Amino acid sequence: MKPYVLAGFQMIGLNGMIGASWLDPDDTSVAFTDLDYWIGIARQLDDAGFDFLFFADSYGFPGLDGEPLAATVREGRSIPQADPVTVVSALAAATRDLGYVVTASTTVEKPAALARRFATLDHFTKGRIGWNIVTGSQGATAASLMGEEVTPHDLRYDKADDYLELCLKLWESSWRTDAVVADRASGVWADPEGVRSISHDGPFHQAKGILNVPPSPQRTPLLVQAGTSGRGCEYAGRNAEVVFVAGGPHEVVARRVQNIRDAAVAAGRPADSITIVAGVMFLVAPTEEEAIAKHERMLSLSSYDGAAAIFAGNTGVDLLQFDQDAPLPHDLSTELGLSNLQRYLGTAEQPGPLVREIVDDFRRTGLNGSVFVGTPEQVADETEAFVAATGVDGFLVQPNVVPATYDDFIGLLLPELRARGLVRESRADSADPGAPATTLRERLFPGAGAHLPDTHYGAALRWS
């Protein structure tokens, strides 16, 4: 069986995926503005054999009508949140194998600016960079910060298709593979015949010119995405190499995974050309009692108002404005985080949960849905059952308390997963500890090469 893909999940801010975990006396994330804090996490994951470190991000913040919600400011949840792109070069220099997947929105800056930044990062990381393509899950506050209107949900994905196509032309098509000769004797740095302007005249984005960065190890960063709506899956099916899904009940995650694989096939790609990774919180301890105590400690820092504020920031729906003892209207919709709203809607025939129950469930599970609690054996069993039932390829390990989340995962759970043959060995324990590092794409798709696979439409753009 294929080893689980393992990744760390972080935002450049305070820990607080479920509740205000930074309040826990053992948590160190108040040091999030200190680069050494991030170097420590990256080195720990690199040494343990994680595949990549993912940085979630948004220009938006939990707010309504452009104003931050008081509960999130007070509890330090999603506010503050600093720019993750800025730490990646430093982390790459401090690590060897670990990849970095960084979130950037298609609604904020021009495609050519983003393409240039990621091409530069692909050089500086030696091909270990991935781009989590988002269209903005906190779209309302992000749009208003940028002085723009919110773009309707499906139109955001149409624009993101066009955006990526333009980026792919710049990455794949502007430079011939062998254009750079860097020959002092002949005085030629690059063959002028090997560098050309791309031209893109799409429905939303236009560009003519070159990518002013020579081809990088992967040329195109690993393409990652996390949309789960119908249009989001269609986007993933056409474009993504890795998809993040939220955790949740097995049958819900299984349906999402199937939708994504079906969308890949509908786009003419093999179903397994997309690696699917679920966001999960792991609370592991030597005994069940200790694990349950950790879970209770985490939930004690998760307030009703804080949960409602995070939900409002994601979906644009302020649950506190509804009758707490009635279900939500079954036809409620949003142009923002549709998936999190749909989690809790019933139908005309079968009403959904009461608003009070929704807030409480969200308070316990947060945006991403699954919390695995127990001894290493229990949690390893839970991962196996989850993978068997859903078909995901691995896990994004979400932080509760840092460094304890990673200490426990690496020190307690990884040996159990390794003993069962579920994860790859760390470099130090591998048969060839001196083997050269690979690109992130080759790490996730061994043997497939550093560049976009031929089954991705972007590969046909390559000038080689």
Ligand X SMILES: Cc1cc2nc3c(=O)[nH]c(=O)nc-3n(C[C@H](O)[C@H](O)[C@H](O)COP(=O)(O)O)c2cc1C
Of 15 and 103, the one with the shorter C-beta distance to ligand X is 103
> What is the β-pairing status of strands 52-55 and 129-134?
unpaired
How far apart CA 29 and CA 13 sit, in angstroms, is 7
Of 9 and 445, the one with the shorter C-beta distance to ligand X is 9
Of 132 and 239, the one with the shorter C-beta distance to ligand X is 132
What residue ranges bind ligand X (CB under 6 A)? 56-58, 103, 132, 134, 136-137, 226-229, 232, 244-246, 279, 337-339, 368, 396
Of 16 and 136, the one with the shorter C-beta distance to ligand X is 136
Least separation in angstroms between residue 65's CB and ligand X is: 19
Least separation in angstroms between residue 231's CB and ligand X is: 6
Q: Rg of the chain over CA atoms, in angstroms?
A: 22
Of 22 and 395, the one with the shorter C-beta distance to ligand X is 395
Check residue 189 and report its DSSP letter.
Answer: E
Burial, 365: exposed, middle or buried (Cβ in 10 Å; 0-12, 13-18, 19+)?
Answer: buried
How far apart CA 130 and CA 62 sit, in angstroms, is 26
> Hey, what are 142's tokens?
């992000």
Least separation in angstroms between residue 461's CB and ligand X is: 25
Least separation in angstroms between residue 60's CB and ligand X is: 7
Burial, 114: exposed, middle or buried (Cβ in 10 Å; 0-12, 13-18, 19+)?
Answer: buried
Which of 51, 154, 185, 160 minimizes the C-alpha distance to 107? 160
Least separation in angstroms between residue 138's CB and ligand X is: 6
Of 95 and 103, the one with the shorter C-beta distance to ligand X is 103
Least separation in angstroms between residue 455's CB and ligand X is: 23
Alpha carbon distances (Å) from 95 to 45, 88, 220, 451: 9, 11, 21, 22
Least separation in angstroms between residue 115's CB and ligand X is: 19
Q: How is 257-308 classified by DSSP, letter by letter?
A: HHHHHHHHHHTTS-GGGSEEEEEEEEEE-SSHHHHHHHHHHHHHT--HHHHH
Which residue is it, tokens 């919709």? 333
> Hey, what are 35's tokens?
């680069």
**Is the four-CA dihedral 380, 383, 388, 393 of positive or negative sign?**
negative
Of 391 and 411, the one with the shorter C-beta distance to ligand X is 391
What type of residue is 428? Answer: A
Least separation in angstroms between residue 170's CB and ligand X is: 23
Alpha carbon distances (Å) from 342 to 136, 228, 260, 332, 365: 18, 11, 17, 9, 15
Measured at the CA of 32, the angle between CA 336 and CA 395, to 5 degrees, comes to 60
Of 19 and 337, the one with the shorter C-beta distance to ligand X is 337
Least separation in angstroms between residue 441's CB and ligand X is: 20
> Hey, what are 196's tokens?
């050309």
Q: Name the closest residue to ligand X (Cβ).
A: 232
Least separation in angstroms between residue 185's CB and ligand X is: 48
> Hey, what are 6's tokens?
């393992």
How far apart CA 368 and CA 409 sit, in angstroms, is 18
Inter-residue contact 423 to 49 (CB < 8 Å): yes
Least separation in angstroms between residue 316's CB and ligand X is: 12
Of 244 and 406, the one with the shorter C-beta distance to ligand X is 244
Of 368 and 375, the one with the shorter C-beta distance to ligand X is 368
Of 215 and 313, the one with the shorter C-beta distance to ligand X is 313
Alpha carbon 355 to its chain centroid, in Å, reads 29
